[in-house]
Amino acid sequence: MVRELYRKLNFSDFGDERGKLVVAEGELDIPFAIQRVFYIYGSDDSVIRGQHANRNSEFVLINVAGSSKVMLTDGKNKETVTLSRPMEGLYIPKMIWKEMYDFSPDSVLLVLASTHYDEGEYIRDYEQYTSMM
């Protein structure tokens, strides 16, 4: 059985002459209740963020401006996804190693999390991670 590394989510995009509005609701469009929100900006194409897996947290990543890439692996399978549309999200399940990189100068990467921050659930050593999988 192949583990799900990610799932693409498409959000409703409403707009008229006044502009665009994208809606993403927890437990409806987002497959969990949202407990934490943060965003990454001011990074450039030389920066690598993430570089960890989470024991308990699920995430949805949305590039609300600009673009970035996300490398995902379970230690066996590896995929890279480009995020560049504000109406598209990337769902990442628990225990998936993630690295965000290649940020455009205008990138704002919004992250929705299923848990509050807990440093103890982070696995930051890739060798330790692969030995657990």
50-108 pLDDT, tens digit per residue, is 999 999 999 999 999 999 999 999 999 999 999 999 999 999 999 999 999 999 999 99
Residue 17 lies in a domain: no
The predicted model gives 18-34 an average pLDDT of: 96
pLDDT tens profile 113-123: 999 999 999 99
Confidence of residue 3 (pLDDT cuts 50, 70, 90): confident
CA nearest neighbour of 74 among 1, 129, 9: 129
Q: Does the pLDDT value for residue 1 go beyond 70?
A: no
* CB count in 10 Å sphere of residue 33: 9
83 is in which domain, residue-wise?
A: 7-12+22-132
Active site residues: 52
CATH code for position 98? 2.60.120.10
CA nearest neighbour of 55 among 90, 93, 27: 93
CA 57 from centre of chain: 11
CA nearest neighbour of 83 among 95, 98, 93: 98
